[in-house]
Structure 1
Amino acid sequence: MTVSDTIARWRYRAVPDHLLGEILSKRWIDNVIPLLILFLVVAVFGSLIPDFFGAASVSNLMRQWGEFGLVALALMIVMVAGGIDLSVGSVFALGNIVALGLLSVAEWPVPAVVAATLACGAAVGLINGLLVGYLRLRAFLTTLVTLIIVRAVVDMLLLNYSVAIAAAFPDSDLWYYFGEGYVLGVPFSVTVTLALALVLHLVLSRSRAGWHVLAVGGSRRSAHNVGIPVRRVICLTYVVSGTLAALAGLLFASRLGGAGADTGIGLEIAALTAAVLGGNSLGGGRGSAAKAIIGSVTVMIMVNSLVRLGVTSGANSLLLGMVLLAAVAIDVRWLKNRHKFLSKVYVSPTYSELPPAPATDGASPYALNDRLRPVERIGLGRIDGPEDVILDEDDNIYVGNRTGDIVRFLAPDYERQEIFAHTGGRPLGMAFARDGSLLCCIGGMGLYRIGRDRSIEKLTDETNRSWFSVIDDSRLRLADDLDIAPDGRVFFSEATVRYEMHDWPVDCLESRGNGRIICFDPKTGSTRTVLKNLVFPNGICMTHDGQSFLFAETWACRVSRYWFDGPKKGQVEPVIADLPGYPDNINRASDGTYWLALVGIRTPSLDLALKMPGFRKRMARRIAPDEWLYPNINTGCVVRFDEAGRIVETLWDFGGENHPMITSMREHRGHLYIGGILNNRIGRLKLDEADPSWTGPASYWGRR
């Protein structure tokens, strides 16, 4: 290894370039800029205002924020669903006057006052919801009209009852507790706001109703097409908004005990500024309670601090308008360019040096030949992308296809076919369990079981999360092959934790070691990772000793052995370290050896590029993905080897006429059945020296 190669190798080992892309891909990254703005605001005004952090100052600010935070949450829930509610300031004023009137003039008990006030806010929200959700009126104009009407109602109530309200002194400790009480040292209004923010967060992130709201905000047409009641969801968001705004008005009434014509005026602008400044999208589909909380705290500190500095109300409004304009500009630009920027930094190649490729001519065990040329074609044009192929004891063939079906070709002539199961995902590796059920890795979904009665059951779609991983590696992104140990444990490979099913070739560009092998134990229902940092593991096969399995790492061009039981438990041993191509599935042969599919053949250009991560990074940033340097996957090859790594024979389809890409093969009753993820047929090749009675299920579980 040259000095430059050594430097490059250690540089990419020491500096985790991929962390930036992983951090930017997180949802919470939207909160970083709002948090930085919040810290900046606190630092500036904290230095300008004496006693800014004093107990009395903080307590007064918190009580005001408790009410304002509720209004920001009210606007947030509507914005997330793709709408807007300009009436929140008027509903706030309505809640204030209704609460004071019922308590001071009508002399209702406090619980009844609370219920009636919230009902008034919900009623205004219902009107908005019916007009916007069901009648499909424009949200901006509709809520602007509601703002005017509700404000007129508030003015009329003030004209009739303001004197009586001002002259009354309610005798209720509970009422004064709303405005002046504490819960464990925290003002009551703040406690209520934080509790409701937590509830909204759980609803939006963990409940079906919240997912519906986000889906409607993202695309109403798509939400309707999948069966979400769009109109009802929109209507309910306005009801929630009106209720929260009225609750804020009630807490305001309890704290100050008075009502005026200027109550709530301009509050909708401040709340809108807070919601957008916190990172909630005006376009809908993106937002959270946490964002509303961050934005509302920032705006409240700004407004309160400007008042304490003696800035006029006109300057206050001017500042809020400028902040809102800047927040909208940042939101629009970030939303438009985030994925463009992320695509430039997320792909993060590292240094990877493969051993020299063995020769494929002369006396080499990998010498080219045309032994796959006479392969028969089964289901030609009737199947799309059979990545794996497997046969049962009745000689029926099972393959997955691109549309999510597991197709069964019926013996003996395989002219008839049927849909054995529809998985809803991309079926990849398969294996038969002892009870005859079919276990299948489904890309993007996890590990599933298809019973003999064709029932589909999810076994697992997650594993234990790594302690120091920025990316959430608990979710299974690309489970691709599996095999079953004698005790029933299922070991399966996940090719990459960074890329989804349709982006799997990009992992080759990185060659970082994003893959792992996972164990699912059906006895306990537990799932855990047993091997990490593998370079696209894609192929697992149990050895005959029942204590270890072979696994292939595609982009590393090697096959290794892992001991999960016995005296060598936990050890990994190299079996074949220098393949001439990219290995895929591994399966047993009838004579105790193993079959290995080579999905493509190495090229000098890509081998060289793997030692040049800077070149690959520039390539990923500057040219279109369809022009990137990829492996040669146009030449099919099947290799047979023993447990010592000795190559027994090699079967080529030089020129790729029958099977240009081979991802799997199974021996069954003297024939080799071949699949390929880009093929439109299943291949069958007669093996002259193979055991004509041998089957895979019998090799694992014995004759039934």
Structure 2
Amino acid sequence: MTSLRRLWYRYSPQLYLSELLEKRWMEPIIPFILMCVVFLVFALIIPGYVSFIQLQQLMRSFPEQAFVAMAMAIAILSGGIDLSVGAVFAMANFVALYLLQILGLPFPVAVLGVLAWGAFIGAVNGGLIAYAKTRPFLTTMVVLIVVRAAYNKLTAAFTDELASGYADSPTWDFIGIGSIGGIPVNMACLVVIGIAAHFYLTRIRPGVHIMAVGSSRKAARHAGINVKFSLFFAYVLSGLLTSFGGLLYAARQNSAGTDTGVGWEVNALAAAVVGGISLSGGRGTISRALIGAAIIFLLINGLVQLGTHGSLTSAAIGFILLAAVGFNVKFVKNKGKILQKIYVSPSLVEFTAPPSIERGSGSVYAENDRLKSVEAIALNRIEGPEDVILDRKDNLYTVNRNGSIIRFLAPDYETREEFARIGGRPLGLAFDRDENLLVCVAAMGVYGVKPDRTVFKVTDETNRTWYRFKDDARLWLADDLDVAPDGKIYFSDATTRYDLSDWALDGFEGRGNGRLVCHDPATGKTRTILKNLAFPNGICIAHDGQSVLWASTWLCKIYRYWIAGEKAGQLEILIDNLPGYPDNINRASDGNYWLAFVGLRSPVYDLAMADPAFRVRMVKQIPPDEWLCPGINYGCVIKFNDEGEVLESLWDPGAQQHPTITSMREHKGYLYIGGLENNRIGRLKLPNADPGWTGWDSYWGSKRRPGPGAAAPETRVGHVARA
């Protein structure tokens, strides 16, 4: 039964549902479902509705309305509206017939003429709205009235010529009645232009500018976007799309009736709204407009085939649209609340009682005073030194909350300078063989700083997990790293579901959201080695270079992953059931390893981890600031060896000097201590440490310990036997 519970919570449907709702393409899910329902209903009640001939006819009749809906959508996304699309569509139909059938112009010239008409009207609308600052609603309504009146006059004046006219053009006939692989030509045009329009608005700079202007003109202006031109061009695009739809309609119908395009602006507006495009602008896509257009088209076409009276058809469409819009608006409004309630998906974690930390208990973890009088370096001159490291010249480096790397110069560490500004939130640090300072940056990836202070990107993505809805190709929370003897960089991506602002929620879940990643500078490739890890944190290459040690913070374990030798590729638990939450791991001068506890376990939280249902109810029923969370405010430093034996512990009772210990580095007989929330760097004199040992020498210099079969360094000074 326990195995089934563990499996259920490990692969909880709630996890996949939350990741699904998080996707942007899930926003139009309600209109998409409605479109499918409408189609299925008519398929059931109308004989032959899904026959090939009927489907082909639907595809041949739909594109013109879809182009008008796309035109309306672009105007709305820019923050406006275009009520003239119906009249512009009708006039484009007339212009196409006039140029081809009456004037007898070649087909390419007629096409250019029709598009020029649409661009001209779009320029009129855009010029008045963007530069004369007129209201979009009134401006386009006036243009609608004027163009519709002109269309009625022109069609009346050329009735006989249009009725007897004929365009001797195979291309014209092919566009009107031809097909490509069974797909009508106009439908193929819609697919191609629809895809192009989608990429234009989401990937191409001028299109992105239109979306930005629709979201906030003030913000777009501050970002350096030419707001007036973006608005102007949005209406030009609207006119072009509308006129192209009119061209296709003319090729298919070869007539210009008085009712052509009448009411299409209302249908286009309804299509945009039903598709989920915000009338306030800046939120929506072309695909949503096409979904909305399909809903309107299917409703009208289906009701007409059923013989429904025109007034009843309009009433039915109005009722359905009202319900769909209300439901869709409600869904969009509450989607965030729904996601907040179900996103945190706790898993089953069962702990055994931890070793005692009680003072005087005789346990190696027993509380003591060894960190109580630690010397404070850079007091109140640093914010959140999550990791610390020293170079060959004894200079001290640490990370700062504002996105910079700070260096304190030896020997007294009084001189403070900004070594580099990277941005983001820098975390783990490591030096490579070329003395580049490598750093993990939350939400950005892994970066490096050369000795001349040049900042460069190492990697910001890895291979994606193909079966997940959530795109985990980019690095979410690169945490700590180390460099192997062959130059490969091993680092932890602590979680792919949360960022630094709510990283503690990953502990609330207790599931394997993290991964161990390797970047090879020689090939430039990054790949995930281990996945589904519970907040992998501290990374340390073993002294012999044969394995990677890493900490699972929420499972309170230390793992060893073999990267060389006979066990290459194997994973094993090195230390189990720690009494605290492990963070960074680093080498010690005696061949052992230092480990930081960022917090201590409590019996209450251990019990909560064994009851995922309790944590689910907690998320749904009480505010986040009242959730039961891990105790990340009181820790210590321990030392362990290659066999997983804990040798000693160092405590700061009451956490007066170091409330959150996340890292420590040994250097020339001293232990330097950092913390995620601290305002200082601690320094402790180690009585039995090698006073000449440095981390640099341990990795790249005279005190590097080669693995089996590796060549020893030319000079081997001060070798310290492993404990």
TM-score w.r.t. length of structure 1: 0.96
The amino acid of 1:24's aligned partner reads: L
SS at match of 1:17: helix
C-alpha separation between the residues in 1 aligned to 2:409 and 2:281?
50
User: Does residue 252 of structure 2 align to residue 255 of structure 1?
Assistant: yes
Residue equivalent to 1:166: 163
Residue equivalent to 1:77: 74
C-alpha separation between the residues in 1 aligned to 2:508 and 2:650?
28
Residue equivalent to 1:541: 540
C-alpha separation between the residues in 1 aligned to 2:642 and 2:439?
25
Residue equivalent to 1:405: 404
The amino acid of 2:650's aligned partner reads: L
Residue equivalent to 2:339: 342
Give deviations 1:165-221, integer Å, cap 9, x for gaps: 223112111222221121222111001000011112223343344443433333333
Residue equivalent to 1:108: 105
C-alpha separation between the residues in 2 aligned to 1:388 and 1:297?
56
- Measured at CA, do residues 221 and 354 of structure 1 come closer, stay the same or move farther in structure 2, by a change above 3 Å? farther
Residue equivalent to 2:681: 682
Give deviations 1:332-382, integer Å, cap 9, x for gaps: 222221101110011110110123211012211011112112222222222
TM-score w.r.t. length of structure 2: 0.93
Superposed, 1:201-280 pairs within 5 Å as 201-280=198-277
- Measured at CA, do residues 455 and 203 of structure 1 come closer, stay the same or move farther in structure 2, by a change above 3 Å? farther
Residue equivalent to 1:466: 465
- Measured at CA, do residues 371 and 130 of structure 1 come closer, stay the same or move farther in structure 2, by a change above 3 Å? farther
C-alpha separation between the residues in 2 aligned to 1:443 and 1:389?
16
SS at match of 2:27: helix
Give deviations 1:579-612, integer Å, cap 9, x for gaps: 1110011111111111111000111110110011
Instruction: State which drifts further: 565-574 or 313-322.
Output: 313-322
C-alpha separation between the residues in 1 aligned to 2:299 and 2:520?
56
C-alpha separation between the residues in 2 aligned to 1:377 and 1:128?
67
User: Does residue 554 of structure 2 align to residue 555 of structure 1?
Assistant: yes
Residue equivalent to 2:710: none
SS at match of 2:283: coil
- Measured at CA, do residues 83 and 409 of structure 1 come closer, stay the same or move farther in structure 2, by a change above 3 Å? farther
The amino acid of 1:534's aligned partner reads: L
- Measured at CA, do residues 372 and 149 of structure 1 come closer, stay the same or move farther in structure 2, by a change above 3 Å? farther
The amino acid of 1:464's aligned partner reads: N
C-alpha separation between the residues in 2 aligned to 1:381 and 1:161?
85
SS at match of 1:567: coil
User: Does residue 40 of structure 2 align to residue 43 of structure 1?
Assistant: yes
The amino acid of 1:224's aligned partner reads: R
Q: Which runs of 5+ in 2 are unaligned?
A: 704-723
- Measured at CA, do residues 145 and 408 of structure 1 come closer, stay the same or move farther in structure 2, by a change above 3 Å? farther
Residue equivalent to 1:666: 665
Contact 1:484 1:490 survives alignment (8 Å): yes
- Measured at CA, do residues 93 and 668 of structure 1 come closer, stay the same or move farther in structure 2, by a change above 3 Å? same
SS at match of 1:583: strand
Contact 1:276 1:324 survives alignment (8 Å): no
SS at match of 2:512: coil
Q: CA deviation at 1:644?
A: 1.0
Residue equivalent to 2:415: 416
Cα RMSD (Å) of the superposition?
2.0
Contact 1:281 1:331 survives alignment (8 Å): no
The amino acid of 1:247's aligned partner reads: F
Which of 23, 28, 46 does residue 25 from structure 2 map onto?
Answer: 28
Residue equivalent to 2:137: 140
The amino acid of 2:16's aligned partner reads: L
C-alpha separation between the residues in 2 aligned to 1:525 and 1:697?
24
Instruction: State which drifts further: 244-253 or 404-413.
Output: 404-413
C-alpha separation between the residues in 2 aligned to 1:26 and 1:36?
16
Instruction: State which drifts further: 34-43 or 522-531.
Output: 34-43
C-alpha separation between the residues in 1 aligned to 2:430 and 2:529?
20
Contact 1:273 1:320 survives alignment (8 Å): no
User: Does residue 640 of structure 2 align to residue 641 of structure 1?
Assistant: yes
- Measured at CA, do residues 179 and 10 of structure 1 come closer, stay the same or move farther in structure 2, by a change above 3 Å? closer
C-alpha separation between the residues in 2 aligned to 1:375 and 1:227?
51
Contact 2:558 2:576 survives alignment (8 Å): yes
Q: CA deviation at 1:628?
A: 0.9
C-alpha separation between the residues in 2 aligned to 1:639 and 1:26?
42
Aligned residues: 701
Contact 2:46 2:306 survives alignment (8 Å): yes
SS at match of 1:377: strand
Residue equivalent to 2:315: 318
Give deviations 1:640-668, integer Å, cap 9, x for gaps: 11111112221111101111001111112
Q: CA deviation at 1:470?
A: 2.3
- Measured at CA, do residues 356 and 137 of structure 1 come closer, stay the same or move farther in structure 2, by a change above 3 Å? farther
C-alpha separation between the residues in 2 aligned to 1:275 and 1:472?
28
User: Does residue 601 of structure 2 align to residue 607 of structure 1?
Assistant: no
The amino acid of 2:569's aligned partner reads: G
Give deviations 1:374-404, integer Å, cap 9, x for gaps: 2222222222211111121122222222221
Q: CA deviation at 1:304?
A: 1.2
Contact 2:10 2:511 survives alignment (8 Å): no
The amino acid of 1:455's aligned partner reads: T
- Measured at CA, do residues 395 and 207 of structure 1 come closer, stay the same or move farther in structure 2, by a change above 3 Å? farther
Instruction: State which drifts further: 456-465 or 111-120.
Output: 456-465
Which of 287, 304, 309 does residue 306 from structure 2 map onto?
Answer: 309
C-alpha separation between the residues in 1 aligned to 2:140 and 2:451?
57
Q: CA deviation at 1:494?
A: 0.7
Q: Which runs of 5+ in 1 are unaligned?
A: none
Give deviations 1:608-652, integer Å, cap 9, x for gaps: 100111110111111111111111122131111111111222111
Instruction: State which drifts further: 402-411 or 546-555.
Output: 402-411
Contact 1:276 1:327 survives alignment (8 Å): no
Superposed, 1:383-394 pairs within 5 Å as 383-394=382-393
Q: CA deviation at 1:226?
A: 3.0
C-alpha separation between the residues in 1 aligned to 2:289 and 2:652?
61
Residue equivalent to 2:583: 584
The amino acid of 1:392's aligned partner reads: D
Give deviations 1:400-424, integer Å, cap 9, x for gaps: 2222112222222222222222222
SS at match of 2:49: coil
C-alpha separation between the residues in 2 aligned to 1:248 and 1:536?
54
Instruction: State which drifts further: 317-326 or 663-672.
Output: 317-326
The amino acid of 1:250's aligned partner reads: L
- Measured at CA, do residues 104 and 697 of structure 1 come closer, stay the same or move farther in structure 2, by a change above 3 Å? same
Contact 1:491 1:518 survives alignment (8 Å): yes
Give deviations 1:27-50, integer Å, cap 9, x for gaps: 222233223212211122122222
Q: CA deviation at 1:540?
A: 0.3
The amino acid of 2:676's aligned partner reads: I
Contact 1:270 1:320 survives alignment (8 Å): no
- Measured at CA, do residues 683 and 528 of structure 1 come closer, stay the same or move farther in structure 2, by a change above 3 Å? same
Superposed, 1:493-642 pairs within 5 Å as 493-642=492-641
- Measured at CA, do residues 273 and 224 of structure 1 come closer, stay the same or move farther in structure 2, by a change above 3 Å? same
Give deviations 1:206-244, integer Å, cap 9, x for gaps: 334444343333333333333333333332222211100
SS at match of 2:544: coil
